[in-house]
Structure 1
Amino acid sequence: MDRWFKEQFKRNCFPIFMILILNIIGMSFNIILPMFMRYFLDNIIVNKHTEILMRFSMLLIVLFIISSILDFIGKRWYCNIILKLKKDLKETIFNHIQRIGLKDFFSKSKGDYIATIINDSESVIQIFNDYLYPAILSIISLIIVVGILLNMSIELTIICLLSIPIFVITSKYFGAKIKQIAYKIRKDTAKHMEILDEGLSLIVTNKLYDYYEEQQKNYKEKVDDLMKNSYSLFINSIYSKQIFGLTASIFPIIILIQGGYKVAANEISVGMIVAFISYLSYLYNPVTVLSKLNMVIKEMKVSIKRIDEILNMNKENLYEYDSKIEDQDVKGNIEFKNVRYDINNKTILNDVSFTIKAGELVAIVGTNGVGKSTLLNLLLKLYDFDGDILIDDVSIKDMNTSSIRNLISIVPQRGSLYATSIRENIKIGKKDAKNDEIEQVLELVNLKSFIDSLEDGLDTEVFGNEVNLSGGEKQKILCARAFLKPSKILILDEALNAIDNESKEIIIKNILKMKEQKTIIMITHDPDNLKIVDKVIEIKSYN
């Protein structure tokens, strides 16, 4: 996170400095004010200059109000910076996760990523807001106040308890408002978690269909909603704190006026007592903040470590090479040459070699877990491997990852849909697709009648986890997405298992027609599918 902190410091150095100046000015008013009160009591009141008593008291109140206004302006400005920092850190972590290579990505659980984005990022910024920045002001205040208090002695306890009812009423009023806002934030957080789960669950789809920008846009919208209510929560908290602070400041003046008349009557001398009472809060608050600083810094280090573990993961380089072939020139010949793939010190594939000619429909078969799907993931450059894979005699290791994935469309074995409309889910295959193109692929997968039966048609929203769609309907949408993509290679990974027989026959007929434009690879356990292919490639277990 060092780089992120440096970037944010450069970006926010000036406004934070100005906020600090505003806070110091406001704090200076408060610190020097007890000295005025002591002078006020010990000189004006003792000498019975009652004719200027109210004027001087009003002057003190005005100084307190000015101090409170400056403090409020600084805190409101500071609130905006804190929320921007939270928003930027969350987006930085999320966007980085979307680009992490799959080998590193699966080294952590999805819960770890979500907890880091939701909790750790929040913790880092909140600790800075609640403790680190206030600690700077506290140290300045503490040094000054300790120097003053060294010249004073404690004689009486604080007499400002009459302010408690105001604190209680204010707390109850703003507490109710804050509770309502907090409920909205919880709902926004739930939506935030939903889009996070979607973004992480569909990370492979994002990579295969270059859906990064759209996914990041959806995520940004959810974070914006969350931050709006968070801002409202901050503002109401600031209002309540300002009332508390103003009350705690005005009450000593009221006590001072009442005590002043008693001093004028030669009953007691309260100049030093009132000054001391005023300074006590400047002693207690910094000590409270600083006493917790060590603990919260340790908590912050833990959160920073968890965030660093993610930000230090290597991102995919989608454009590391100049592609040696243009998309329009690709024929679709594929060759695996002595391919080996190991994971966690276990060999999954070893010395795998075969060729697929352009325009062929090839079935890849083998027992479960033998590495059939892994082979195709290697073709898509989702993992590093030994050996070589060539497309039209060009090694994919010498091709841009982005270019390769643009050449290939896939219907995965366990695909998922985004929580958006059916139309948008299909258009992931071709973002600028026209309505007639979408209608055409609906016919290809026998989904037209189902879409027409829906009240909102293609604009029907897909609920979370696709609960409003059957497995077959979901699979047809995934097929439509892959068929719409203008690719040279089509991969079907157990793609037709959940689809009814009538629709399966229609889809297979249309797949056969695609052979004129595409190389088609089908992973299957269905013996009926083997009857339509040009070649069967069997993958045997290395172990």
Structure 2
Amino acid sequence: MLEQLRNSPFIVNYRRMWPFVKPYWFRALLAMLMCFPIGSMDAVIAWFLKPYMDMVLIEKTAGSSPWFAPLFIVGFTVLQGGMTYLVTYLNVWVGTHITQDLKTALYDKLLSFETSFFDTRNSGDIMYRFHNDADVACTGLLSNLRLFISRIFSSLSLIGILFYNSWKLSLIAIIVLGCTFYPMTRVRNLIRSIVKKTIASGSQTMTVYNETFAGNRTITAYNFQPQQRQKFRDIMKSLFKLNIKMTQRSSWLSPMMHITASIGIAATIGYGSHLILTNQLTPGGFVSFIAALLMLYTPIKNLGNNFTSVQVSFMAIERVFEILDTTPAIHDKKDAVELKAVRDTIEFRNVNFSYRPDIPILKNINLKVNAGQSIALVGNSGGGKSTIVSLIPRFYDIDSGNILIDGVDIRDLTLTSLRDQIAVVFQDNFLFAGTIRENVSMGKPDATEEEIRNALDMAYLTDFIDSLENGLDTYIGERGILLSGGQKQRVAIARAFIKNAPIIILDEATSALDNKSEAVVQKAIDNLMRNRTVFVIAHRLSTIRNADKIVVINQGEIIETGSHNELMEIENGAYKSLYNAQFKNSAKKDDTASSENMTPNA
């Protein structure tokens, strides 16, 4: 019995929440202690009715004053109300702090997860699990704890009044009380699956909102509003059905408890009348008993309405700690060492990798790069180029083989020190809502004004910044929406510059730009590549002709390696075929442009 109590959801959930309650334990304890007299005061009023009613109904006297009892009841009620206000205030104070601490812990955990964690989840699911569940868990925790304590002490004191007046009537009341609580044991299993489905639909709703915000231009450009509207309405219909199912499975509890309680009251009145007629109970004692019984049953009858929310809160707590207990797939070893610098080589040794176990992406990759070299990865789309460079900063971990920096496996290095040595410029760089200064300096938060200006110069951003009214403090909107594609790329390059990392990864950094923007960005990239080890993925082969080593990748395998000249000498080589095909396409475009320029009124 004791073991069952210890492992009950109530005890387990409150025990798990204790580390978050502990910093505020004094105020939390004070609020709980104040629940004792608040609950017990119900019994005082019921107890006082016995001598008062006996004096009024039997002895026809009310003592020194007929107003004493009403004033006594009002005074106690005012005191109880004041203490209830203080408990509510303390609960809100403690609850807000606990909620914020829990959300902070969840956000810290979110930041620790690997890239694959985000690949398999949508934004709505992240928001629901990491934000909404914390609100539901903490709100339910404190409100339910307060309700539980006050009801326990109110019930115990009222049961004492029942036995004080008549132990025979009390036995009937206790038996009925036990029958009233029995249906509550069935609710948790009935609503669990509904709660999970409701959470899934709720996260889908948030995802649609996020997609509408981020993709508003695409929706408008393609007149996609009807489809999005229908998608949203389908989710709303699903939520409606789930709410109805929740009502069907849980709302019977409160009426059932009302019916059971009414049976107990009816049985008590019937048997109590017999006790009065046989002089086994005074009228005052009967009135006091009925008052205590009503005070006991009334909150219990209404408890059915709260019990569903209690279970939802407990399930939210379970989901929260399911996340907090999850160990990220990519994390530091216990004996991980720091990477101070990159002095010698970066080597891929028999590396195999797959996003899913049944679909291999990289197959037996062997590649050795000397510090200071520039390495270009080329090949058809989907061949694994971006995957290779994403393994260096451990966005993903390999299935087998080794990736070594100066002879040390990167899995033996601390993640922070490894990523401190790497700067990445993506094809679509993410800029944060804020100013240009904030986005550039995130590469080095303590950067001086001089360092920032130097990074801007190297990224060919100075003239643009100087043309803005607020300069570096210009707000660029969420995702940098107020900047052009070329400007966003140069901000990202400045961010990489200021980090001053020895390893640079350029993942098709110019592929989404027009020719004019690409020319400027390419100059900035050339500056960034100086005296660094560079991995570059480029769709235009003319931009990587001067790379120290060009690696041709096809279907996850390295098929050719060498300099541009060496690869061009391979008869029927893959690189030569790609280069010639691209050169011919470029020549055709140039010829077409020339003929158009020669045409009158072109």
TM normalised by structure 2 equals 0.64
Indicate the larger mover: 463-472 or 313-322: 313-322
444 and 285 in structure 1: CA distance in 2 versus 1, 3 angstrom threshold? farther
Counterpart check, 1:8 vs 2:20: yes
| Count of residue pairs brought into register by the alignment | 433
Measure, in 2, the Cα distance between the counterparts of 1:449 and 1:408: 28
SS in 2 for 1:353: strand
Cα drift, residue 534 of structure 1: 2.5
Measure, in 1, the Cα distance between the counterparts of 2:468 and 2:130: 37
SS in 2 for 1:539: strand
What residue in structure 1 maps to residue 369 of structure 2?
A: 356
Amino acid at match of 2:351: V
**Contact 1:427–1:481, Cα closer than 8 Å, also in 2:** yes
Counterpart check, 1:422 vs 2:436: yes
What residue in structure 2 maps to residue 536 of structure 1?
A: 550
What residue in structure 1 maps to residue 40 of structure 2?
A: 28
Measure, in 2, the Cα distance between the counterparts of 1:331 and 1:416: 30
What residue in structure 2 maps to residue 291 of structure 1?
A: 304
Alignment of 1:102-121 (within 5 A): 102-121=115-134
515 and 35 in structure 1: CA distance in 2 versus 1, 3 angstrom threshold? closer
Amino acid at match of 2:66: L
Which of these two proteins has the greater Rg computed from alpha carbons? 2
272 and 86 in structure 1: CA distance in 2 versus 1, 3 angstrom threshold? same
Alignment of 1:212-223 (within 5 A): none
- Residues 33-71 of structure 1 deviation map (CA, whole Å, 9 limit, x = unaligned): 233244334326854458533456444433332222222
Cα drift, residue 477 of structure 1: 1.0
Cα drift, residue 10 of structure 1: 4.4
Indicate the larger mover: 61-70 or 497-506: 497-506
Gap regions ≥5 residues in structure 2: 1-11, 170-205, 215-281, 558-602
Cα drift, residue 522 of structure 1: 0.9
**Contact 2:384–2:556, Cα closer than 8 Å, also in 1:** no
Amino acid at match of 1:42: D
**Contact 1:475–1:499, Cα closer than 8 Å, also in 2:** no
128 and 368 in structure 1: CA distance in 2 versus 1, 3 angstrom threshold? same
Indicate the larger mover: 354-363 or 139-148: 139-148
Counterpart check, 1:72 vs 2:85: yes
Counterpart check, 1:403 vs 2:413: no
What residue in structure 1 maps to residue 140 of structure 2?
A: 127
310 and 27 in structure 1: CA distance in 2 versus 1, 3 angstrom threshold? closer
Q: Return the match for 1:413 from 427, 432, 443.
A: 427
What residue in structure 2 maps to residue 453 of structure 1?
A: 467
**Contact 1:364–1:536, Cα closer than 8 Å, also in 2:** yes
Alignment of 1:32-71 (within 5 A): 32-43=44-55, 47-48=60-61, 52-54=65-67, 57-71=70-84
Amino acid at match of 1:122: D
Measure, in 1, the Cα distance between the counterparts of 2:345 and 2:152: 71
Measure, in 2, the Cα distance between the counterparts of 1:117 and 1:288: 34
- Residues 20-44 of structure 1 deviation map (CA, whole Å, 9 limit, x = unaligned): 3212212323321233244334326
Indicate the larger mover: 404-413 or 448-457: 448-457
What residue in structure 1 maps to residue 345 of structure 2?
A: 333
532 and 421 in structure 1: CA distance in 2 versus 1, 3 angstrom threshold? same
19 and 302 in structure 1: CA distance in 2 versus 1, 3 angstrom threshold? closer
343 and 25 in structure 1: CA distance in 2 versus 1, 3 angstrom threshold? same
Amino acid at match of 1:21: L
Measure, in 1, the Cα distance between the counterparts of 2:34 and 2:315: 32
Cα drift, residue 294 of structure 1: 5.0
Cα drift, residue 279 of structure 1: 4.1
Counterpart check, 1:475 vs 2:503: no
Counterpart check, 1:378 vs 2:391: yes
**Contact 2:385–2:537, Cα closer than 8 Å, also in 1:** yes
- Residues 50-95 of structure 1 deviation map (CA, whole Å, 9 limit, x = unaligned): 8533456444433332222222222211221222222222221111
- Residues 365-408 of structure 1 deviation map (CA, whole Å, 9 limit, x = unaligned): 12222211111111112222121122233332332222111111
> Matched residues, percent identical?
29
**Contact 1:132–1:293, Cα closer than 8 Å, also in 2:** no
**Contact 2:351–2:365, Cα closer than 8 Å, also in 1:** yes
Cα drift, residue 275 of structure 1: 5.0
126 and 321 in structure 1: CA distance in 2 versus 1, 3 angstrom threshold? same
Amino acid at match of 2:47: M
Alignment of 1:194-209 (within 5 A): none
422 and 278 in structure 1: CA distance in 2 versus 1, 3 angstrom threshold? farther
510 and 473 in structure 1: CA distance in 2 versus 1, 3 angstrom threshold? closer
Cα drift, residue 441 of structure 1: 2.0
Alignment of 1:138-537 (within 5 A): 138-146=151-159, 148=161, 151=165, 275=288, 279=292, 282-292=295-305, 295-315=308-328, 316-318=330-332, 320-323=334-337, 326-327=340-341, 330-331=342-343, 333-345=345-357, 346-385=359-398, 386-537=400-551
Measure, in 1, the Cα distance between the counterparts of 2:446 and 2:405: 27
Indicate the larger mover: 97-106 or 349-358: 97-106
325 and 122 in structure 1: CA distance in 2 versus 1, 3 angstrom threshold? closer
Measure, in 2, the Cα distance between the counterparts of 1:77 and 1:365: 63
Indicate the larger mover: 407-416 or 10-19: 10-19
376 and 27 in structure 1: CA distance in 2 versus 1, 3 angstrom threshold? same
SS in 2 for 1:52: coil
**Contact 1:97–1:105, Cα closer than 8 Å, also in 2:** no
413 and 508 in structure 1: CA distance in 2 versus 1, 3 angstrom threshold? closer
SS in 2 for 1:120: helix
TM normalised by structure 1 equals 0.71
Cα drift, residue 101 of structure 1: 2.5
Measure, in 2, the Cα distance between the counterparts of 1:336 and 1:103: 21
Measure, in 1, the Cα distance between the counterparts of 2:130 and 2:294: 37
**Contact 1:135–1:289, Cα closer than 8 Å, also in 2:** no
Measure, in 2, the Cα distance between the counterparts of 1:141 and 1:49: 27
**Contact 1:138–1:289, Cα closer than 8 Å, also in 2:** no
Query: RMSD across aligned C-alpha pairs, in angstroms?
Result: 3.4
Gap regions ≥5 residues in structure 1: 155-192, 202-268
**Contact 2:31–2:91, Cα closer than 8 Å, also in 1:** yes
**Contact 1:135–1:290, Cα closer than 8 Å, also in 2:** no
**Contact 2:333–2:411, Cα closer than 8 Å, also in 1:** no
Measure, in 2, the Cα distance between the counterparts of 1:339 and 1:134: 58
Cα drift, residue 340 of structure 1: 0.8
Amino acid at match of 2:472: L
SS in 2 for 1:528: helix
**Contact 1:475–1:498, Cα closer than 8 Å, also in 2:** no
Amino acid at match of 2:467: S
SS in 2 for 1:24: helix
**Contact 1:318–1:402, Cα closer than 8 Å, also in 2:** no
What residue in structure 1 maps to residue 178 of structure 2?
A: none
334 and 92 in structure 1: CA distance in 2 versus 1, 3 angstrom threshold? same
Indicate the larger mover: 27-36 or 405-414: 27-36
Cα drift, residue 472 of structure 1: 2.1
Cα drift, residue 305 of structure 1: 3.9
Higher relative contact order structure (alpha carbons within 8 Å, sequence separation ≥ 6): 1
SS in 1 for 2:65: helix
Cα drift, residue 451 of structure 1: 1.9
Measure, in 2, the Cα distance between the counterparts of 1:83 and 1:521: 48
36 and 294 in structure 1: CA distance in 2 versus 1, 3 angstrom threshold? closer
Cα drift, residue 445 of structure 1: 2.2
